[in-house]
């Protein structure tokens, strides 16, 4: 058995690694924002895209972000890897980030909503939102809202939302969105990842637009993705998951492997006019029935606007 495992190991690893982005598309003159790019798949996404164009790393922890950016600059030779403060658990920070970005940059071509929290003990954001919902969904919802006009002005442009296979276990519990009546940290993560899929679906529908059967689209696409099971810091809030991740690390993607679908959705030429889709391993993937519920998507949009105090028609 050990011999068989040794022989099979390279094939197992190749299978675990999954799809790889093969696009050599350049991004000269283009601007990319990646949230949570100081570690994990966000950092690897930034590393790849920094070889193609200008990348803005938007993170809560500036020290870690500067260290990651410095490493990427040295490796790629691209000095246009910029760090900006962004705390998705604080709408004031999100607004300040957007205001500064809009004052400094005249264009935005790719927004990758990558940052996320997972398996947090019950807690709330600065604004009183349950942490998973607040950071993973509402924070990115507000950020996208604030930057959308710049994306439209820079079109063709892309919005990439990092969701998860976990969306299959999610439900949008409108009667208890913030988990005050019943809270399970695993399910809270699943709910927030379903929210990512539904947000992408409704955003794509609104951006596409139709008037008397004539498309009046904005040339801004929105797609979601599952990066795979990745050996990263995302499970830091769970001792059990950290322990399991170490034991089974051989069967998990590396952050570089996990970043491939994010990179694919950001640059692949064949996705120029593809929108409202969900990808895994650089190919279309199955979305749960709850993730295809247009009525729930519309209601979540409306409730999200209400919670954030914005009007997004």
pLDDT (average), residues 125-151: 98
* 65 phi and psi angles, rounded to 5 deg: -65, -40
Q: What would the pLDDT profile of 67-106 be if each residue is shown by its tens digit? A: 999 999 999 999 999 999 999 999 999 999 999 999 999 9
Q: Catalytic one among 122, 183, 189, 286? A: 189
pLDDT tier at 214, thresholds 50, 70, 90: very low
Please tell me the total count of domains within the chain.
Answer: 1
Give domain status of residue 13, yes or no: no
pLDDT (average), residues 171-186: 97
pLDDT (average), residues 223-228: 94
Evaluated on CA atoms 138, 144, 147, 148, the torsion sign reads negative
Give domain status of residue 1, yes or no: no
| The pair of three-digit structure tokens given for residue 130, joined into one six-digit string | 């349950």
In this predicted structure, which of 100-109, 159-168, 215-224, 258-267 has the lowest mean pLDDT? 215-224
Could you confirm whether 183 is annotated as catalytic?
A: no
Give domain status of residue 285, yes or no: yes
Give domain status of residue 9, yes or no: no
Does residue 140 register a pLDDT over 50?
Answer: yes
- Secondary structure of the chain in HEC code, one letter for each residue: CHHHHHHHHHHHHHHHHCCCCCCCCCEEEEEEEEECCCCHHHHHHHHHHCCCEEEEEEECCHHHHHHHHHHHHHHHCCCCEEEEECCCCCHHHHHHHHHHHHHHCCCCCEEEECCCCCCCCCCECCCCCEHHHHHHHHHHHHHHHHHHHHHHHCCCEEEEEECCHHHHHCCCCHHHCCCCCCCCHHHHHHHHHHHHHHHHHHHHHHHHCEECCEECCCCEEEEEEECCCECCHHHCCCHHHHHHHHHCHHHCECHHHHCHHHHHHHHCHHHCCCCCCEEECCEECCCCHHHHCHHHHHHHHHHHHHHHCCCCC
Q: Which residue, among 128, 56, 41, 54, has the nearest Cα to 90 in the 3D structure?
A: 128
Longest dimension (CA), the chain: 66
Q: pTM to 2 decimals? A: 0.90
* 116 phi and psi angles, rounded to 5 deg: -170, 160
pLDDT (average), residues 280-306: 98
pLDDT tier at 252, thresholds 50, 70, 90: confident
Give domain status of residue 22, yes or no: no
Give domain status of residue 236, yes or no: yes
pLDDT tier at 213, thresholds 50, 70, 90: very low
| Residue range(s) defining the domain that contains residue 271 | 28-210+217-308
Does residue 228 register a pLDDT over 90?
Answer: no
Q: What would the pLDDT profile of 2-48 be if each residue is shown by its tens digit? A: 655 445 556 454 656 688 999 999 999 999 999 999 999 999 999 99
Q: Which residue, among 300, 263, 204, 190, has the nearest Cα to 34 in the 3D structure?
A: 263
Give domain status of residue 21, yes or no: no
Give domain status of residue 252, yes or no: yes
Query: What is the CATH number for 55?
Result: 3.40.50.720
Query: Are 49 and 55 contacting, i.e. CB atoms less than 8 angstroms apart?
Result: yes
């Amino acid at each position: 058995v050990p011999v068989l495992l040794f022989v099979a190991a390279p094939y197992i690893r190749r299978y675990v690694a999954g799809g790889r982005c093969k696009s050599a598309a350049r991004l000269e003159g283009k601007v990319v924002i990646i949230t949570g790019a100081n570690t994990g798949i966000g950092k690897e996404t930034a590393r790849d895209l920094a070889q193609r164009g200008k990348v803005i790393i938007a993170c809560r922890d500036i020290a870690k972000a500067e260290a990651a950016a410095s490493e990427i600059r040295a490796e790629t030779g691209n000095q246009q890897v910029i760090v900006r403060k962004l705390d998705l658990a604080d709408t004031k920070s999100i607004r300040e980030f957007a205001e500064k970005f809009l004052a400094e940059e005249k264009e935005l071509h790719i927004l990758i909503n990558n940052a996320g929290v997972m398996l947090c003990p019950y807690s709330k954001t600065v604004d009183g939102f349950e942490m998973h919902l607040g950071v993973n969904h509402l924070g990115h919802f507000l950020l996208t809202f604030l930057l959308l006009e710049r994306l439209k002005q820079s079109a063709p442009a892309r919005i990439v939302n990092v969701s998860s296979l976990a969306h299959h276990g999610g439900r949008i519990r409108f009667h208890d969105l913030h988990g005050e009546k019943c809270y399970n940290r695993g399910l809270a993560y699943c709910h927030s990842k379903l929210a990512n899929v539904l947000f992408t679906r409704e955003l794509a529908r609104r951006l596409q637009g139709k008037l008397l059967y004539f498309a009046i689209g904005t040339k801004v696409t929105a797609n979601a993705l599952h990066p795979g099971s990745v050996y990263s810091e995302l499970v830091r809030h769970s001792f059990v998951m950290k322990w399991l991740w170490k034991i089974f690390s051989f069967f998990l993607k590396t952050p570089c492997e996990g970043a491939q679908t994010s990179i694919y959705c950001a640059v692949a030429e064949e996705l120029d006019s593809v929108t409202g889709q969900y990808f895994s391993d650089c190919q279309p993937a199955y979305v749960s029935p709850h993730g295809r519920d247009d009525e729930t998507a519309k209601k979540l949009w409306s409730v999200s606007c209400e919670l954030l105090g914005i009007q997004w028609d």
